[in-house]
Amino acid sequence: MIYVFLFSKKLDTFIKRIGQISSWLIFILVLMVAGDVLLRYFFHISSIAEQELQWHILAAIAMFGSAFTFQQGEHVRVDLFYNRYSKKVKQWMNLLIPLFIIIPFSLFIIYLSSDYVMQSYTTGEVSPDPGGLPYRYLVKSLIPLGFILICIQGFAVLLRSIRQLRKEI
């Protein structure tokens, strides 16, 4: 049972590092937007590629940050009901929700979005805007990657819940 605990801790540590990367991406995005505003309004210089890169970074923040948000318990759930439940009911919910909702849904999105990414890759999709970024499949690959991270965090929550419930039995 100690191995389950250690494994779930490693998964949590991995997701926490992803959250740190996401926070650095937010800092980089703020700098880029501020630089873009300064260049556009004071020097009348604008770059389509830079603006697209800002959107790509925002997509990475959303996809990477969602797993970290889930880990920290700040994800969307019906707290109106959840906060009123007993500790035992919350533990069972923390076991059942990843098992029957989060992990299967994530695997389904990974499956669907992988074809979407591969289609973009095989066609060599690029930005439709002149001066835009090439390799559109890279930003599209954030969709399955983000859901892989959510699935990993769901698995960590599942393992932690199993351990907590076994302690009480």
pLDDT band with cut points at 50, 70 and 90 for residue 77: low
Q: Which of 160, 164, 148, 156 is nearest to 11 (CA)?
A: 156
The pTM of this model reads: 0.89
Q: Quick one: average pLDDT of 40-69?
A: 95
Task: Return all residues near 12 (Cβ < 8 A) that are at least 6 apart.
Answer: 71, 153, 156
Distance separating alpha carbons of residues 14 and 110, to the nearest angstrom: 19
Q: Which of 74, 86, 66, 77 is nearest to 19 (CA)?
A: 66
82 membership: H or E segment, kind and range? helix 79-82
Give dist(CA 130, CA 92) in Å, integer.
53
pLDDT, mean over the chain: 92
| The pLDDT of residue 141 | 97
> Picking from 32-46, 65-79, 84-98, 112-126, which range would have the lowest pLDDT averaged per residue?
65-79
Please give the tally of structural domains in the chain.
1
- In terms of residue numbers, what domain contains 11? 2-168
Q: Is the pLDDT of residue 1 over 70?
A: no
Region 60-83: mean pLDDT is: 83
Give residues with Cβ within 8 angstroms of 52, minimum separation 6. Answer: 127, 129, 132, 133
Residue 79, pLDDT score: 67
Query: What Rg, from alpha-carbon coordinates, does the chain have?
Result: 20
Dump pLDDT digits (tens) for 123-168: 999 999 999 999 999 999 999 999 999 999 999 999 999 988 888 7
